[in-house]
């Protein structure tokens, strides 16, 4: 709900994104206000109480948090559903298309330093031997680099602690919400706290073609 987006616009956006009829979403919120919980398609809605005169709602999808927001009590006293018409507007649909475009899966060859919210699928080609380092917070941590490749190039991925043993050479991995940084004049992919890393396939189950090596960082 950044950039002063109204609660009506935000709920209309959610109804479009998750394929929920705006009337069903509105009535599910009213039900959650009265009964604390409600279901709306694949979404679970919970009213967590009141804060500063506004009701706090939590929406989850298969136990994954979708959104948490506050709604004034008067919102539910509207004669007409205030999000129905907004969900049908071209402006709202363009916002959804733009958000999905930002989350579109990229190839390694598309990556540039400074890019954020990077999603890609690649093969693990090498994993360096872990070394023990002292972080900027004064803690000890194991760090290693995985060399990833796809049909368009190669890039290093920084691995920390338990991430190191979660991968093996030959794995096909899916990365989401990562960012690209420069380190010693070459690109590196970094997961960060909000990123995710998972193994989706291995060498024995997929033919993931990697072309001849390209110089990393070029």
Rounded Cα gap, residues 26 and 36, in angstroms = 14
Q: Which three-class secondary structure state does DSSP give residue 75?
A: helix
Q: Which helix (H) or strand (E) holds 128?
A: none
Compute CA 72 distance to the chain's CA centroid, rounded to the nearest angstrom. Answer: 28
Element (H, E) at 136: none
Q: Go through the domains of the chain in sequence order and give each one's CATH number.
A: 7-102 (no CATH), 108-205 (2.40.50.140)
Tell me which long-range contacts 83-87 makes (C-beta under 8 A, separation of at least 24). 83/8, 83/11, 83/12, 83/15, 83/22, 83/25, 83/26, 84/22, 84/23, 84/26, 86/8, 86/9, 86/12, 86/22, 87/12, 87/15, 87/16, 87/22
Q: What pTM does this model have? A: 0.48
| 95-144 per-position pLDDT tens digit | 555 555 455 678 888 888 888 888 888 999 999 999 988 877 888 889 99
Per-residue pLDDT tens over the stretch 43-86: 999 999 888 889 999 999 877 888 888 988 888 776 677 777 76
C-beta atoms surrounding 87 within 10 Å: 23
Q: Is the pLDDT of residue 213 over 50?
A: no
Place of tokens 């803690």: 139
- Calpha distance 23→15 (Å, rounded): 9
The mean pLDDT value for 35-49 works out to: 91
Cβ proximity of 69 and 55 under 8 Å: no
């Amino acid at each position: 709900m950044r950039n002063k987006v109204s609660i009506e616009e935000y709920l209309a956006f959610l109804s479009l994104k998750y394929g929920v009829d705006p009337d069903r979403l509105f009535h599910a919120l009213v039900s959650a206000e009265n009964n604390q919980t409600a279901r709306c398609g694949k979404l679970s809605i919970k009213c967590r109480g009141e804060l500063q005169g506004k009701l706090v709602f939590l929406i989850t999808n298969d136990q994954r948090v979708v959104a948490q927001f506050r709604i004034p009590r008067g919102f539910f006293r509207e004669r007409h559903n205030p999000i129905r018409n907004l969900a049908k507007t071209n402006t709202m649909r363009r916002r959804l298309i733009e958000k999905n475009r930002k989350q579109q899966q990229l190839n390694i060859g598309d990556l540039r330093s400074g890019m954020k919210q990077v999603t890609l699928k690649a093969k693990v080609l090498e994993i360096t031997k872990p070394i023990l380092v002292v972080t900027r917070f004064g803690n000890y941590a194991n760090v290693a680099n995985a060399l990833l490749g796809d049909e368009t190039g190669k890039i290093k991925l920084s691995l920390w602690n338990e991430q190191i043993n979660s991968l093996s050479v030959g794995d096909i991995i899916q990365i989401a919400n990562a960012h690209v940084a420069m380190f010693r004049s070459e690109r590196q992919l970094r997961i960060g706290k909000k990123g995710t890393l998972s193994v989706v396939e291995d060498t024995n189950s997929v033919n993931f073609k990697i072309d001849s090596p390209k110089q990393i960082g070029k």
